[in-house]
Chain A
Amino acid sequence: MALKSIESLAPRALGPSPDASERELLERIAKSRDQAAFRTLYGNYYQRLSRLLARMSVRREDIEEVVNDTFWVVWTKAGEFRGASQLSTWIIGIAYRRALNALRRAKIRPVSDEPFDEDSISVASTDDAETDGQWLALGLSRLPVEQRMALELTYTLGHSCEEVAAILDCPVNTVKTRLFRARETLKQVLPSLAGMTGENS
């Protein structure tokens, strides 16, 4: 039955952390300026934020600055978090806005938007994963940053549509539209994805 496989699709290694335990950490930070709690929370997000920022074309050497700016806000505003949203939504939203502002102000330089050389993808490669990765890099490079973020937040970080909308500060329908367009663009670039469409299973 197809639905069984559908339900087991999500790779959740980097998915949202349990909100309750992270709120407890935030409470310790707010109430007792607990460095250990702060370090744990930082560790929970360092990798997630780093890869998200890399997807936003923030240069590797600038990623730490944005991550630390984000956690500077977490440290100073911990007591002001009222729990209207998921903690992960709040933290990732801060990082997204700071990176976006910084990129717009050109304070930090985006990774150069050099044209991707399609000929550099080795069709003779015996490593399917490597080839898929190269095509994916090509496909993602052709998407606007907002669409790339919607993809990353949904497929890699495992956020719900409502959480993605909160992080990107846009309506839920906008998230759906961005993902729809991103998927259509990627299908034009990624041969393996295009091949799946319309295929009976």
Chain B
Amino acid sequence: MSSRIPDTHAEAWALLPWLANGRIPASDREWVEAHVAACAECRAEVAAQRMMSTAMNRDGASPESAGTDEQRSFNRLWARIEASESASPASVATGTVQQSSRSSRTVRWLAAAVIVQGFGLALFAFNTLRTSPQSGEIVTVASVSPQTRLNAPAVRIVFAPGASITTINTLLAHQGLSIVSGPGTAGNFTAELSADAVASGASADSVAAVISKDPNVSFAQPVAR
């Protein structure tokens, strides 16, 4: 039994939205329901709110592409998080031993993932070259030498889901980029600029700006070094 029984039309009226959506507080439910049972105007109002609720739910229904959009959005966010954490690990860790241990675990896990996925890519590249002899000139992602140059400008890239190996290789070659690590957990690669590209005036910023507009690239960001 409620300790407070206002039983006034105005107070009940104000609470009808939550009677309609099932979230009215237990302390109010009893007296509001009693009022509504005896009040034709409130019953009609609840019915009207049901119609509005149904219309609002129908009106805001998600498009069929929502799932794809969600994954693409998450990939971008995750690439942003990884970029931030690799650029300034100190800003992420708060100095506790526990967090530092977490970072170590993450790094070890990522390193293992890179190795495993490297094998996978190498196998894929081998099969691609073996079954497509006419593509002999293609340099696959996995066949690029992962030798890094100290402080070489680099770009973190997430390729669009539908981008082919050929397209990616062409894109990388045009920009003087070589993949040196990846894919990360969000499908991101790190690519370094060649010495020739740097000599010709290219920078991580300029290249990231250019390729981020390419439809085959979901995300591109210069790596702080």
Chain B residue numbers with a CB within 8 Å of A106 are none
The stretch of B47-55, B128-136, B164-172, B188-196 in contact with A is B47-55
Determine whether B116 belongs to the interface, using a CB cutoff of 8 Å to chain A.
Answer: no
Chain A residue numbers with a CB within 8 Å of B53 are 9-11, 155-156
A179 touches B21 (CB 8 A): no
Determine whether B199 belongs to the interface, using a CB cutoff of 8 Å to chain A.
Answer: no
Question: From residue B212, how far is it (CB to closest CB) to chain A in Å?
Answer: 15
Q: Which bracket fits the contact residues of B?
A: 35 or more
A64 touches B59 (CB 8 A): no
| Interface members, chain A 126-161 (any B CB < 8 Å) | 129, 132-133, 136-137, 151-152, 154-156, 158-161
A2 touches B21 (CB 8 A): no
Question: From residue A196, how far is it (CB to closest CB) to chain B in Å?
Answer: 4
A51 touches B60 (CB 8 A): yes
Tell me which of B25, B56, B105 has the highest count of chain A C-beta atoms within 10 A of its own C-beta. B56
Question: From residue A76, how far is it (CB to closest CB) to chain B in Å?
Answer: 7
Question: From residue A126, how far is it (CB to closest CB) to chain B in Å?
Answer: 16
Determine whether B14 belongs to the interface, using a CB cutoff of 8 Å to chain A.
Answer: yes
B25 touches A160 (CB 8 A): yes
Determine whether A81 belongs to the interface, using a CB cutoff of 8 Å to chain B.
Answer: no
Roughly how many angstroms separate A11 CA and B57 CA in the complex, as a whole number?
8
Determine whether B137 belongs to the interface, using a CB cutoff of 8 Å to chain A.
Answer: no
Roughly how many angstroms separate A71 CA and B78 CA in the complex, as a whole number?
10
Chain B residue numbers with a CB within 8 Å of A137 are 59
Chain B residue numbers with a CB within 8 Å of A50 are 62, 66
How many chain A residues touch the partner (CB < 8 A)? 64
A156 touches B45 (CB 8 A): no
A7 touches B76 (CB 8 A): no
The stretch of B32-40, B155-163, B201-209 in contact with A is B32-40
Q: Main SS of the interface on chain A?
A: helix
B23's nearest neighbour on chain A, judged by CB, is A160
Q: Main SS of the interface on chain B?
A: helix
Chain B residue numbers with a CB within 8 Å of A200 are 40, 43-44
The stretch of A31-39, A89-97, A111-119 in contact with B is A31-39
B105's nearest neighbour on chain A, judged by CB, is A32
Question: From residue B200, how far is it (CB to closest CB) to chain A in Å?
Answer: 33
B77 touches A71 (CB 8 A): yes
B20 touches A10 (CB 8 A): yes
A160 touches B18 (CB 8 A): yes
Residue B46 contacts which of A9, A14, A79, A190 (CB distance < 8 angstroms)?
A: A9
A155 touches B52 (CB 8 A): yes
The 7 closest A-B pairs by CB, nearest first: A196-B48, A160-B23, A10-B22, A155-B53, A68-B77, A51-B60, A10-B21
Q: List 25 A-B contacts (CB under 8 A).
A: A12-B22, A13-B57, A14-B57, A31-B98, A32-B105, A35-B78, A42-B74, A46-B66, A46-B70, A46-B74, A50-B62, A51-B60, A68-B76, A68-B77, A72-B81, A155-B17, A159-B23, A161-B15, A180-B13, A186-B52, A193-B51, A196-B44, A196-B48, A199-B44, A201-B47
Task: Knowing that A192-B51, A197-B45, A198-B40 touch, tell me 19 more A-B residue pairs with CB under 8 angstroms.
Answer: A9-B49, A11-B53, A46-B73, A47-B66, A54-B60, A68-B76, A68-B80, A72-B80, A132-B55, A133-B59, A137-B59, A154-B21, A156-B57, A161-B18, A179-B14, A180-B14, A183-B17, A197-B44, A201-B40
**B interface list, Cβ under 8 A from A:** 13-15, 17-25, 33, 36-37, 40-41, 43-60, 62, 66, 69-70, 73-74, 76-78, 80-81, 92, 94, 98, 102, 105-106, 185
**A interface list, Cβ under 8 A from B:** 1-3, 5-7, 9-14, 31-33, 35, 39, 42-43, 46-47, 50-51, 54-55, 64, 67-68, 71-72, 75-76, 79, 129, 132-133, 136-137, 151-152, 154-156, 158-163, 176, 179-180, 183, 186-187, 190, 192-193, 196-201
